[in-house]
Amino acid sequence: MAANELLKRLVTIFSDDDLRHPQLRGIVLAQWMLESGRATSELSVKHYNFGGLKWRKEMAGFATRIQYEAHDGADFYCKFATIENFITGYWVFLNRSPYSGWEANVSTPEEFIKFIGPIYAGDESYADKVISLLPEATSLLEQAVRARADGPHGDQENDDGRGDDLGVIVIDPGHGGIQNLPGSDANHAISVSGVKEKKLALDFSLILRDQIYARAQRSERLKVVMTRETDKNLPGKERARFAFDHKAKLFLCLHFNGSQSGSARGTETYYRAKENGNINLQDDMTFAQAVQTALFKQLKALDSGARDRGIKPDNQGNPSLPGFGVLNDHNLGNDERRDPCRAAYIEAEFITNPSVEKLLISGPDAVNNRTLAMAAVADAVLQQMRAIRS
């Protein structure tokens, strides 16, 4: 059975997760596939709860509580803001008294699931159901590892291989990892509920990638390259260099704002300032305005409190500021190209605002709202690529 996009995102992130017991990776993924119907259940689609985890007080800080009606009736379940949070939360869930001793039963995947299965599901046949999915889960993980080793990928084309070649877009999810690097801190803002910006940036960017592919016309071919698909950091120059290495037409960074004032909010998009040596200023401004307008319009439709902070040069009117390294034309390779790459840097919202928290992070419709928001950006991106193509 082919994996849907949500399952692929789960596999991509989990395949690179630093597990204490890596031999369990396949069986744990198989369990999540069983629980979520291969990432099709409402709990997984709307709440990133691939394990059917019910709310327990120990989950505070990793998830928020929602009421959900499952096959066995209504109860309180965990809602996770990101796939990364779910993966962490799963192990927190197991480190509770009902599962005491599980780490003494990890010699084989089968031993692990036969120990936790009856506790987890109250079903003696549960372990066998999970084990039956182990080959499929292992294959998906191996595919993700191979894809990562092969480097950035993601071609999409129509069945006969013909059609309009729109080119390449590079998406750069902000931050990542645990170490600050030149031009890229590991993290910046933290949401009201404690979700790190780096995790939201990755989740939104993966959704954006999938929406670009989904919304492209069947006759169009294109490629989306991610500077990162997992929790790692890259120097700013290295991120920007993806644009040159892949001959990208567009380079789009995705970040979130934070403020000590909980009332601050709004969407803004940056472009390289003229004073910072922008060699394709008007094209960058056009791109920035397109994604800014699309994102703000959709957020406004979802929440009347959304605010348009407009497009801004990366020196913000101060000629002495060097701006963002990821928008530097030399770093992007634009001084070596006849067709410079257009670049923009979105600060999608202030995740320190309670209204934004509910809208995009932990509210009941947060995952759907972020998908709608990224779909709007995807349309703007595709229109830009079509305009360049023509």
pTM of the model: 0.92
Per-domain residue ranges for the chain?
5-146, 154-389
Q: Could you tell me whether strands 308-313 and 267-271 are parallel, antiparallel, or unpaired per DSSP bridges?
A: parallel
Q: What is the pLDDT of residue 2?
A: 58
Question: pLDDT class for 390, splitting at 50, 70, 90?
Answer: low
* pLDDT score of 158: 39
Average pLDDT over residues 158-181: 84
What tens digit of pLDDT does each residue of 336-384 get? Answer: 888 999 999 999 999 999 999 999 999 999 999 999 999 999 999 999 9
Let me know if 124 is exposed, middle or buried by CB neighbors in 10 A (0-12, 13-18, 19+): exposed
154-389 in CATH: which number? 3.40.630.40
Which of 63-77, 96-110, 232-246 shows the lowest per-residue confidence on average (mean pLDDT)?
63-77
**Dihedral of the CA atoms 277, 283, 289, 290 (nearest 10)?**
-150
Q: Could you read off the pLDDT of 27-85 as tens digits, one per residue?
A: 999 999 999 999 999 999 999 999 999 999 999 989 999 999 877 788 999 999 999 99
User: Does 5-146 match 154-389 in CATH topology?
Assistant: no
Question: What is the structure's pLDDT at 320?
Answer: 85
With a cut of 90, say whether residue 157 has pLDDT above it. Answer: no
- How high is the mean pLDDT of the chain? 93
Average pLDDT of the residues in 134-158:
78
pLDDT of residue 156: 46
pLDDT at residue 268 is higher than 50: yes
Helix (H) or strand (E) holding 268: strand 267-271
Predicted confidence at residue 269, as pLDDT, reads 98
**For position 241, what pLDDT does the model report?**
95
The mean per-residue pLDDT over the stretch 154-163 comes to: 48
Q: What is the DSSP string of 11-55?
A: HHHHHTS--SSGGGHHHHHHHHHHHHTTTTSHHHHHH--TT-PBP
CATH number for the domain whose boundaries are 5-146: 1.10.530.10
β-pairing verdict for 155-156 and 220-226: antiparallel
Task: Report whether pLDDT(153) > 50.
Answer: no
Give me the pLDDT at residue 159, please. 41
Task: Give the pLDDT of residue 73.
Answer: 80
Q: What is the pLDDT of residue 152?
A: 57
pLDDT at residue 22 greater than cutoff 60: yes
**pLDDT, mean of residues 121-150:** 93
Mean pLDDT of 204-229: 95
How large is the angle between the packed helices 197-215 and 366-389, nearest 10 degrees? 50
Span of 29-33, 116-120, 155-159 with lowest mean pLDDT:
155-159
Q: How far apart are CA 331 and CA 93, in angstroms?
A: 44
281 burial type by CB count under 10 A (0-12 exposed, 13-18 middle, 19+ buried): middle
- Inform me whether the pLDDT recorded for 162 exceeds 80: no
